[in-house]
Copies of this chain bind each other. A is one copy, B any other.
Amino acid sequence: MMKNSLAGELAAEFLGTMILILFGTGVVAQVVTSADGSAGDHDSIAWAWGIGVTLGVYVAARVSGAHLNPAVTIALALFRGFEWRKVAPYALAQFLGAFVAAAIVRSVYADLISKVDPDHTIKTQGIFSTLPGNGLDGVSITTAFFDQVVGTAILVFVIFAVTTARNAAPLANLAPVVIGLLVVGIGMAWGANAGYAINPARDFGPRVLTLITGYQDALFDQNGTLYFWLPIVAPIIGAVIGGATFVHLIERYLPADEPLVAEDAK
């Protein structure tokens, strides 16, 4: 079937990631630029990120498999036979989708951002990319790194669990809803140390956008330490750990007489 021509796959990864980031950075923009919870709070941030994931996956699932995350793409290449030659193009499409979405949020929220943070400081830069301790003191770089490894390991381990048909995964094309809940839960339980990037494209795309639109320190953390690399490297390590854990500790015990993954899934 021709459905998997690379052009279509890249368009789908681009648009799926764009939807994810339109909701994800959009909700943080709404909360940060409004007063005292009048337009949302921590809970709405967690929910809207999860909803963005669910919807982004629905956009792209049929055409590209809806990775939306370079760490997930690498895990699928390692453990599910996704072609290595497509990893870099997928990652680029994901990065561009996140970048363009951040540009739209940056524009539409420009009035409100200028109102609450006229100097474009860390306060509103945090709308777009992550920081250790979400910009507050008390979390070391080592902890942030470890946190991102754990968070992404949980993400990929559970994604494998709920998309492996043989593991009694959700049917009726409803796995995207459960994956959205997964990200809601990560935001609620694994967001305090490093803002749950758990996705190199999600973090670096919007970070580059802010760097070229008035946030000079976008590559650094609140203490002036180079930081942009951490939400790229740690999630990849975590994704490998999460995928390996599923394959070696759950998948090997699944019944062998059914297809591992549903036919229509990538």
Partner of A58, one of B147, B178, B184, B193: B178
A188 lies within 8 A of B254 (CB): no
Nearest-neighbour CB distance to chain B for A261, whole angstroms, equals 13
Chain A facing B: main interface SS: helix
A19 lies within 8 A of B158 (CB): yes
Partner of A185, one of B3, B55, B147: B55
A37 to B223, CA, bound (A): 24
A42 lies within 8 A of B42 (CB): no
A64 to B202, CA, bound (A): 35
A51 lies within 8 A of B184 (CB): yes
Q: When A39-B42, A138-B112 are in contact, do A22 and B154 touch as well, CB less than 8 Å?
A: yes
A61 to B257, CA, bound (A): 17
* A108-143 contact mask (Cβ, 8 Å, vs B): 1 or 0: 111110010000000000000000011000111001
Interface check A77, CB cutoff 8 A: no
Interface check A5, CB cutoff 8 A: yes
A245 lies within 8 A of B150 (CB): no
B40 lies within 8 A of A188 (CB): yes
Q: When A55-B185, A184-B51 are in contact, do A139 and B111 touch as well, CB less than 8 Å?
A: yes
* A161-205 contact mask (Cβ, 8 Å, vs B): 1 or 0: 110001111111110111011101100111111000000000000
A16 to B189, CA, bound (A): 16
A253 lies within 8 A of B11 (CB): yes
Nearest-neighbour CB distance to chain B for A202, whole angstroms, equals 14
Nearest opposing residue in chain B for A62, CB measure: B168
Specify which chain B residues have a CB less than 8 angstroms from the CB of A222 in the assembled complex. none
Nearest-neighbour CB distance to chain B for A15, whole angstroms, equals 6
Specify which chain B residues have a CB less than 8 angstroms from the CB of A208 in the assembled complex. none
B108 lies within 8 A of A59 (CB): no
B109 lies within 8 A of A193 (CB): yes
Interface check A27, CB cutoff 8 A: yes
Specify which chain B residues have a CB less than 8 angstroms from the CB of A11 in the assembled complex. 249-250, 253
B168 lies within 8 A of A58 (CB): yes
B143 lies within 8 A of A55 (CB): no
Nearest-neighbour CB distance to chain B for A152, whole angstroms, equals 13
Interface check A252, CB cutoff 8 A: yes
B158 lies within 8 A of A55 (CB): yes
Nearest-neighbour CB distance to chain B for A141, whole angstroms, equals 11
B3 lies within 8 A of A253 (CB): yes
Q: When A15-B250, A178-B58 are in contact, do A188 and B44 touch as well, CB less than 8 Å?
A: yes
